[in-house]
């Protein structure tokens, strides 16, 4: 396939490179001038998408998605598929779907889970929203860039699923960090806490796969001075999106709201540029109120 890829950042570049390695003809563009292995660089976003069978975007927020979509969709070939892998608000995702439909395009909102490591390894999970025909058109590309793609429903459903997933993640990471901090103060070893919780009812991804305690469990950013696999400011972005969505439909999310507040304080003080699991050393320095 001929593929246009807009947004060659930490996530987009390895995703585009994996498509090129699989034999697809990939043309990319990024406003920062970044490139990706095996990907031909275009001088503009419009140039990158012209005549392509599929166009993939990986962008920072909903406002940028709306701007880019308005720019590139009119330049796309009728019948092509527009795949947005950004994590944005549901309304922006639906606005992009509407533009694509008006232009005679298939479209999918398909945010991802798996982080930079998953993007490089081709093991991402895609949460997709759009018509069945759009999902089927995009699925061969999802199969290259990831290990699983779930069709969650119509336009915007992928973003809704991502927001729900990451609200759980933010809440659970804080819970795991609080438990380790409490265990420290009760005189328990972190290894014993991991050994118990990872095989008991406290089992969760934040403990078992991404443990925030250095030297415990599988390798994680905690073992690399909390250099980000998933930055705290990105977790804050997703928690804000979850609360924006909750407000729009009147859903009570008291734990999600409190998690957002805790990450706002963390990022606002010293958490920017650190992994979201660095909530553990932050809690270790705090006094009980």
Residues classed as catalytic: 162
Cite the DSSP H helix spans in 7-130: 12-21, 45-49, 62-72, 90-102, 115-121
Q: Which residues of 106-137 are buried (b: 16+ CB within 10 A; e: fewer)?
A: bbbbbbbbbbbebbbebebbbbbbbbeebbeb
Q: Of 230, 187, 186, 239, nearest to 212 (Cα)? A: 230
Q: Could you count the other beta carbons within 10 Å of the beta carbon of residue 211?
A: 27
Nearest-CA neighbor of 100 among 117, 120, 77, 121?
77
Helical pair 232-249 and 254-266, crossing angle rounded to 10 deg: 150
């Amino acid at each position: 396939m001929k593929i246009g890829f807009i947004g060659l950042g930490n996530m987009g570049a390895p995703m585009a490179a994996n498509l090129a390695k699989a034999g697809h003809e990939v043309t990319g563009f990024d406003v920062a001038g970044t490139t990706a292995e095996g990907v031909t660089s275009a001088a503009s976003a419009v140039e990158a998408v012209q005549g392509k069978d599929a166009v993939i975007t990986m962008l920072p927020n909903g406002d940028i998605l709306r701007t880019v979509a308005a720019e590139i969709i009119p330049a796309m070939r009728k019948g092509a598929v527009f795949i947005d892998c950004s994590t944005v608000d549901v309304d922006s995702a639906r606005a992009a779907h509407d533009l694509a439909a008006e232009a005679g395009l298939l479209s999918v909102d398909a945010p991802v889970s798996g982080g930079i490591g998953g993007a490089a390894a081709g093991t991402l999970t895609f949460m997709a929203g759009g018509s069945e025909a759009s999902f089927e058109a995009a699925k061969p590309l999802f199969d290259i860039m990831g290990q699983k793609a779930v069709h969650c429903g119509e336009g915007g459903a992928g973003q809704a699923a991502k927001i729900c997933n990451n609200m759980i993640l933010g809440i659970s990471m804080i819970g795991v960090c609080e438990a380790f901090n409490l265990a420290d103060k009760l005189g328990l070893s972190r290894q014993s806490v991991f050994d118990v919780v990872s095989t008991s009812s406290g089992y969760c991804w934040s403990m078992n796969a991404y443990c925030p305690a250095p030297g415990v469990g599988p390798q994680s950013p905690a073992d690399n001075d909390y250099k980000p696999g998933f930055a705290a400011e990105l977790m804050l972005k997703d928690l804000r999106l979850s609360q924006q969505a909750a407000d729009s439909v009147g859903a009570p999310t008291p734990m999600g709201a409190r998690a957002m507040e805790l990450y706002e304080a963390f990022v606002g003080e010293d958490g920017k540029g650190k992994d979201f699991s660095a909530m553990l050393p932050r809690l270790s320095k705090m006094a009980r109120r």
